[in-house]
Amino acid sequence: MKLIERYIFRKAAIATLAILLSLAGVVWIVQALGRLDVITTKGQSLQAYFMLTTLVIPMLFLAVIPVALLLGTVSTVSNLNNNSELVVINASGASNRIVLKPFLVLALILSLFTGFVGHFVIAWSLTSLKSYKRDMAADLVSVIVKEGEFNQVEKGLTFHIARRLPDGRLGGILIADDRTPEKRQTFLAREGVLVRTDDEAVLYLRDGEILQQDMTDNSSSVIRYDSYAFDLDSLAAKDDAGDFKRRPKERTTPELLFPDPNDSFLKRQPELYTSEIHQRFSEMLWPFAYVMVILAFCGQARSSRQGYGSAIGGGLVLLLVLRGLAFSAASGIKANETMAVFLYVIPLAAILYSGYYLYQNRTVGIPRRLQPHVERASLATEAWMRQQHQRYLDWRRRTSEAAA
């Protein structure tokens, strides 16, 4: 790349990276606060808390990368325009390809990163998260379930341990299992012991009863037992072979392309495999669509009087509409697999549409008939924001005067 191209690339990369880390940090903090119950109510350690919150980071990056690239592109182009750098580039006789090339390189890097995360890292992250939750399930009685309290481990499953005996045994066990609406079960046991191996975790109940109630005919029965094994691994879904079910999102792309013919998910919902494959590949096109659409709308020097702000707004609205159509197409694959074509058509259409204007060295703008309405809306929004800011300042002044 030329010197000016490296300069633009550095500005765009720094802006995108800063926005990416900021957005990912905010989203991570929000979801981390939502998992505080792991420590406060479930008795897990800080290590478990940080493991649960860290394993979702790849999913956070995949969600915020498009937004970060979009905002980074808008921010960089706006700064170039405000600092008259776009004016200098245009005055030198250079085409807008000088501006386009650094952004395309950045889009290529983020596209490859998005593909790597989507095709491989997400599957590893979700699988590791499920495995770690399984390990936590093995500690439900010894750690999560507190002595003398009723604790809902998951929806429809409640544990109660009356006391913990010195030798590690558990006394006075009650387990209410309402996870199956048609059949409710209540397990009572005088004592129990938790046994864990590398493959499973089982709570062995001794000297107790099972109260069963069939909700379809409102019948009930009582089963007495000397020993009963309650499988804690049942808290995670299993397939018929006894292995944990791995949803299509939890599989790498090679596993989706060459699935096991006996996979239970594939037999029941093959359209989920199709949808996941096409979403992963089509997602790699969107960084190019974001960059090219924004540059087609506002990649050349323009003043605010020439509708520069409305051009940015027009590009953002167009991308928002296209993204919404893509989400609708992804949802429609479950009913009609031919909808997968639109996952590629929509971003490619945006790339070709904006590429035409960039090749012609022209800018896309809002139609002249709509520009007055857009500008009036923009001015009204700006005035409202100034009014709210002034109200905030007045409130701060009154608060400080009252405190004094």
Question: What does the domain layout of the chain look like in residue ranges?
Answer: 3-135+254-366, 146-235
Q: Please, are residues 157 and 140 in contact by the beta-carbon 8 Å criterion?
A: no
- Measured CA to CA, the distance from residue 384 to residue 138 in angstroms comes to 56
Q: Over its length of 404 residues, how does the chain's per-residue pLDDT go in tens digits?
A: 788 899 999 999 999 999 999 998 888 888 888 777 666 555 566 777 788 888 888 888 888 999 999 999 999 998 888 888 888 887 777 777 888 999 999 999 999 999 999 999 999 988 888 777 766 655 554 555 567 878 777 778 888 888 888 777 888 999 998 888 888 999 999 998 877 665 567 888 999 999 999 888 888 899 999 999 887 765 544 444 444 567 888 899 999 999 888 887 788 888 888 889 999 999 999 999 999 999 998 877 666 555 667 778 888 889 999 999 999 998 888 888 889 999 999 999 999 999 998 888 777 766 667 767 767 777 787 788 888 888 888 888 888 888 76
Question: Which region, left, alpha or beta, applies to residue 242 given φ > 0 means left and ψ of -120 to 50 means alpha?
Answer: left
For residues 276 and 191, give the distance between their C-alpha atoms in angstroms, rounded to a whole number: 46
How far, in Å, CA of 115 to CA of 34, rounded? 28
Q: How many residues appear in the chain?
A: 404
CA gap 150, 216 in Å, rounded: 27
Secondary structure (3-state) at 213 = strand
Q: Residue 343: what pLDDT?
A: 95
- Residue 318 · residue 256 · CB < 8 Å: no
